[in-house]
Amino acid sequence: MMGNVYGLDLGTYEIKVYDKKKDKLWQEKNAIAMKNKRYIFALGDEAYRMNEKAPEDIEVIFPMKNGVIAHFDDMQYLLGSLLDRERRFSWGAEYVIAVPTDVTEVEKKAFFDLFFHSEAKARSVRIVERGLADAVGSGIDVLGEKGIFVANFGGGTTELSVLSSGGMVLNRLLKTGGEDFDNAIAGLVRHNQDFLIGRTTAERLRKEFGVFDESTGSAITVYGRDLVTGVPSQTEVSISLVRAAMKDPLEECVHAIQSMIDRTPPDVRRVILKRGICLTGGMANLKGLSTYIREITGLPVRTLEHPELSAVRGLRRIISDKSYYKRLTYSMLGEDYRWLR
């Protein structure tokens, strides 16, 4: 492979990139602040910090939704601007992109086109199934292992993957992620206490309380709007209310995990029952999540340090290892994708 190579994991709220030439990983928020719905006011981390704090004429948008590109032009502009700002990308480079498996081929092609038909003038664009990249980044021998279960809990989706001998056996993309947990918390606070909080505040409650420990009487003071008086105020939100709000989305995810294990071929399932589940994605950092899943499923559960970087760490390994690169990546310009051109 000549020239530089970049690995990209495009999440709902964050972009993770591996730069081969510098052998460096970096992250940037996947956000754009628009003024009067016409002018770009801020990008990346700066735009994300304005979310729920900007004046009425500025709207913060996220080009990704439910694991796929929802606003193609915005996503292309954001990537081009962020990467040109830091002079991290060069023309004629190669791009390896982690994409969800359980999406349509047209949605996958959007990831491909994001770079192949852009000002970056990519020399080539290769696709990797995110479940495979996650497993490689978790230190698993993807090509040799006969049974792997990876659960990627992200900001907008939860992706479940069953792998064996370097291939994808089963995959399911749930449209349930950290955003849904936070909306559920904000909704229950509004319903029970007539108090309006933003998603950022709900996220803080989720991260502080988690989903499984012995605490029952804790509470946190939060700021928002009293819906009775209509004025800004503060109130206490209990741990029990937060846990109650997260119950439904948690149960949906765990039920999907159990259902996928039940549908897994016997020889692969036998290995998974022994080795357990590997948690990745930003939501995997949630306090008590691994304990909760272990208690419900009865399987061993492993969470790596910095699980949100698992996929991009996998891309680094795939780019650097010829056997992984050859077996796990593919181009959408091949004969199998002629109908998409």
Phi-psi region of 139 (alpha: psi -120 to 50; beta: other; left: phi over 0): left
Is residue 150 within 8 A of residue 161, CB to CB? The reply is yes
CA dihedral 116, 118, 122, 125 (to 10 degrees): -30
- Spatial strand order in the sheet of 148-153: 167-174, 158-164, 148-153, 277-280, 301-303
How confident is the prediction for the chain on average, in pLDDT? 90
pTM as predicted? 0.91
Whether 314 shows a pLDDT value over 70: the answer reads yes
Query: Which stretch, 58-72, 75-89, 117-131, 258-272, has highest mean pLDDT?
Result: 258-272
User: DSSP letter at 189?
Assistant: H
CA dihedral 164, 166, 170, 173 (to 10 degrees): 130
Q: What token pair was written down for 180?
A: 């849904």
The pLDDT tens digits for 213-248 are 666 678 999 999 999 999 999 999 999 999 999 999
Helix/strand/coil for 268:
helix
Mean pLDDT, residues 127-133 taken together = 95
How many CB atoms are closer than 10 A to CB 59? 15
Whether 88 shows a pLDDT value over 70: the answer reads no
Query: Contacts for 165-172 with beta carbons within 8 Å, 24 or more apart?
Result: 166/132, 166/142, 166/327, 166/328, 168/101, 168/129, 168/131, 168/132, 169/264, 169/265, 169/268, 170/260, 170/263, 170/264, 171/100, 171/101, 171/102, 171/129, 171/131, 172/102, 172/256, 172/260
Q: What token pair was written down for 143?
A: 């090509």
pLDDT at 215: 66
5-29+67-133+310-340: which CATH topology?
Answer: Nucleotidyltransferase; domain 5 (3.30.420)
At 89, the pLDDT band (50, 70, 90 cuts) reads low
Identical fold, 5-29+67-133+310-340 and 140-303:
yes
At 38, the pLDDT band (50, 70, 90 cuts) reads confident
Which residues, other chains included, contact 185 with Cβ-Cβ below 8 Å and sequence gap of 6+? 202, 205, 206, 241, 242, 245, 246
At 122, the pLDDT band (50, 70, 90 cuts) reads confident
Q: Which of 19-28, 67-76, 85-94, 152-161 has the lowest mean pLDDT?
A: 85-94
Alpha helices in the chain (DSSP H): 44-49, 72-85, 105-116, 130-137, 178-193, 199-209, 239-263, 266-275, 289-297, 310-320, 322-328
At 36, the pLDDT band (50, 70, 90 cuts) reads confident
Whether 311 shows a pLDDT value over 70: the answer reads yes
Q: How far apart are CA 230 and CA 71, in angstroms?
A: 35
Is residue 112 within 8 A of residue 127, CB to CB? The reply is yes
Residue type, 306: H
pLDDT at 305: 87
Q: Which of 209-213, 225-229, 265-269 has the lowest mean pLDDT?
A: 209-213
| CATH architecture of residue range(s) 140-303 | 2-Layer Sandwich (3.30)
Per-domain residue ranges of the chain: 5-29+67-133+310-340, 140-303
pLDDT at 339: 45
Q: How far apart are CA 72 and CA 93, in angstroms?
A: 21
